[in-house]
Amino acid sequence: MSEDLNALLEKLTLDEKISLLSAKNVWETPEIDRVGIPSLKVTDGPNGARGNNFYDGTTAACFPACVSLAATFNRSLSRQVGRALGQEAITKGAYVVLGPTVCCHRSPLGGRNFEAFSEDPFLSGALASEYVIGLQEERVAATVKHFLANEQDTRRFSVNEKISERALREIYLRPFEMVAKQADPWCFMSSYPKINGKHVDAQNKFLIHILRKQWGYDGMVMSDWGAASTVEGVKYGLDMEMPGPPRQRTPEAVHEALKEGRVSEADIDARVLSTLKLLKKVGKFDDRRDTPEEQAVDRPEHRALIRKAGAEGLVLLKNDRCILPIDLKKTKKIALLGPLAKYAAAHGGGSASLNCHYKVTPYDAFIDRLPKDVQITHGKGAHIFRVYPDLEAGCINSNGNPGFVADYFMELDISDGKCFRSEEFPRGSFNTLMNTNVTGCQSVRLSTTHKPPITGDHYLSFSGLGPSKLFIDGELVAEQTGPTKDAMGFFLGVQDEIRVQYSFKTGKEYLIVAETHPSPVSNAELYLMDNQCSIHLGFILQAEMEQDVLSEAVELAKDADLAIVFVGNTTQWETEGQDLSSMNLPADGSQNHLIASVAAANPNTVVVNTTGVPVELPWFEKVPALIQAWYAGQETGNAILDVLLGEISPSGKLPISWPVKYEHTGCHGNFGLDSYESREVEYVEGTHVGYRWFDKLWGSEKEVRFPFGYGLSYTEFKVKNAQANGSFEEVVKVTAVVRNIGHTAGAETIQLYVEPPAEDGVVKKLVGFGKVDLQPGEEKDVEVQFKRQDAAYWEESLNKWMVSKGTYGVLIATSSAPKDVRARLEVVVDGDIVFEP
């Protein structure tokens, strides 16, 4: 392959090679027809292949978020999901998937935590490796992201992160290293932040020295969208600037850099060769030469896999009185309560969002699947709008179709009405970002005719990226005179809105028109947001907004045999682009108050929490059962019900530590919004991330509420006959027998931790895990192996890995908590073991 590609490289002119240093548009690399180099399409994202359009595109399968996959502790399942994602990408004409995300969860306030696997680098690396292998079995490239240290979204385009070398090596580089060496991913994606003063692509340390030389990586590295910071990235190992057209790597800039000696033609050749290798690996030089049209292919086997993976990731955190699974012989009236009962929390916001083939809410699942003699009632219980829902119902556009029409103009003055393009949208929102058909537009008019279902002073919300106006029947009802406060937040669905009430009468039609212009100041710190146009128009009926939903929910709970409260975050609250402000459920305590009120009314109250992060639980002692549901994909309602009914015994384990309060974490005061003004954050906790931090706090008031690796089952297990054989110089094999001593089939995950000598500075670290399915009374052997790399620490004085002389504890456990250690073995290391990275 290399000889053929080198020969092809020699045929290219310098300008042609320069053109291959950046994408041609948002999702595609450039083609060079003269020598037969085809274009290549990429697609978001980590839990579904979205295709071309960020919103309202061709439908796609939505798989569980990576944090949900991590909770399964199931390597095989992660590989199956990866393979299915590859199949989905092919239906969108894309042969590169922009995932998985393997950045570690540094803080429970990470807005994008749900998109990554875990706080633990070993678990992240192990499951991400399987995901990548599965994806690439379909000859679709994985893109491991975001390399490096993209743990927070606050100021992610400009923040400088101060991280020790040891923390970099042991926590933040480690999962990338595992994936690079174990799965051979065909792509990496570089990140936005500065690390110790420089961007990743502005130094040779990460992309050249560590990734390529130390780890032997031979794949392609692309930038995150808009993350290329300098033309010298060509020298420092960044193969392709995304998206196109280029900002840093314009032909003029590259020629100037060549002339001044800041890059060489050999650097350019190396970057182009990486792209050619990728094209070859995914088959673009042969059987995949022609990119098909985007297709929506809803496969039954994908539905089944999503449901299985979603259910296996659910974590049962509390089950007093064995209130779960639901006994339908005794339970004949169930109240489904909470703002997420009729909301399918399939995914988080941002790059992980997509237009699902379908979504199953918990309410849908209960209504469709429970026997007819079980009565189901429903109450919302709380309003948690961060922005009002899009205006959609009762809207007909000027073409006679449901929804809106957007007319695009090249002039600021649109009074003559001569637009250069019109597009239809199903609801009251649109965005020009990533829409290559309307590049350069100076004005947009969004319009519809709305017929309200009932009379009332209904609630409207309105906002735009730039200066915007809202008219109803020609009357100006709202005006935004300047740019939005946060352009990236706006794009990701978190708008700073103007809210008004307007008197509507049923039977009457209202012409609603919104006009907007691009903002001269993007307020996003990302050039991609410059000169973009966007509008959001929200709508809520007066009766819905002013209804006493809490009292209704409490009354329904009183009258029910069982109350199930569905709470959590929506894509408005948990999304790429913004970190969370606290560990509290939104909004303004309403969900916490709802749970406490329902629990007071009905002692048989189950809480199902759907977030990608831990939250504070002020009502925890008042409820007998709690399930953490994550974002389980398009089958989320069915997956939750499978566990509630006991059709699947819960086997999920927390891939994160669950603090009582954010103030108890090691990064408190040094994460996210804390760094908003300074644009700098220090990783003060070093390697003590997650359970490594809380291991020091057992028995104190800051003890973690739920430990890493924790999760209950509907059955019980016994671990016995643990043994360890081997040495750190080669491999240590640990075996144990696991027996199901309960009355229900289930699965247990054995976690292997190494407890190093005191001078290491870390109490213990995860080095392996194994999961086993067991029928009642059945027992099986479990074998878990680990190597010296898994137990080593980074010795900064030597710039090498080290396993210190001494006695190492090998803990066989079912969580990271001391009480869950089932056996402790020892391995003696006679002398220091030092080795190169």
Which residues are part of the catalytic machinery? 224
DSSP letter string, 94-107: -SEE---B------
Are 128 and 69 in contact, with CB atoms under 8 Å apart? Answer: no
| Residue in 686, 746, 801 with CA at minimum distance from that of residue 214 | 801
Q: Side-chain half-sphere of 443: how many Cα atoms within 13 Å?
A: 17
Strands 42-43 and 475-480: unpaired
Are 504 and 449 in contact, with CB atoms under 8 Å apart? Answer: no
User: Cα(144)–Cα(102) distance, rounded to whole angstroms?
Assistant: 7
Angle between helices 362-369 and 636-644 (to 10 degrees): 60
| Residue in 288, 301, 279, 291 with CA at minimum distance from that of residue 84 | 301
Helix (H, G, I), strand (E, B) or coil at 682: strand
User: Cα(596)–Cα(463) distance, rounded to whole angstroms?
Assistant: 35
H helix runs in 137-170, sequence order: 165-167
Sole residue written with tokens 């509008």: 535
266 Cβ contact list (under 8 Å, min separation 6):
none
User: Cα(101)–Cα(201) distance, rounded to whole angstroms?
Assistant: 19
Q: Which residues pair with 446 in a beta bridge?
A: 406, 514
| Residue in 435, 411, 378 with CA at minimum distance from that of residue 556 | 378
Are 153 and 106 in contact, with CB atoms under 8 Å apart? Answer: no
Strands 793-795 and 800-803: antiparallel
User: Cα(785)–Cα(544) distance, rounded to whole angstroms?
Assistant: 57
Sole residue written with tokens 């695009």: 408
Sole residue written with tokens 């430990």: 707
321 exposure class (CB count in 10 Å sphere: 0-12, 13-18, 19+): exposed
Sole residue written with tokens 């002389």: 805
Secondary structure of the chain: what % helix, strand, coil (to 5)?
Answer: 25, 25, 50
- Determine the distance from the C-alpha atom of residue 318 to the mean position of all C-alpha atoms in its chain, rounded to a whole number: 26
Residue 348 sits at φ, ψ, to 5 deg, of: -85, -175
Are 764 and 753 in contact, with CB atoms under 8 Å apart? Answer: yes
Are 103 and 116 in contact, with CB atoms under 8 Å apart? Answer: yes
CA angle 709, 710, 713 (to 5 degrees): 125
DSSP letter string, 685-709: TTT--THHHHTT-TTSTT--SB-TT
* Whole-angstrom Cα Rg for the chain: 27
Strand order of the β-sheet with 141-147 is 42-43, 96-97, 141-147, 187-190, 220-223
Say which amino acid occupies 72.
T
Say which amino acid occupies 79.
R
User: Cα(704)–Cα(707) distance, rounded to whole angstroms?
Assistant: 6
- Determine the distance from the C-alpha atom of residue 173 to the mean position of all C-alpha atoms in its chain, rounded to a whole number: 19
Are 656 and 690 in contact, with CB atoms under 8 Å apart? Answer: yes
Tokens linked to 738: 């696991």
- Determine the distance from the C-alpha atom of residue 133 to the mean position of all C-alpha atoms in its chain, rounded to a whole number: 19
Tokens linked to 746: 């289930």
User: Cα(145)–Cα(101) distance, rounded to whole angstroms?
Assistant: 5
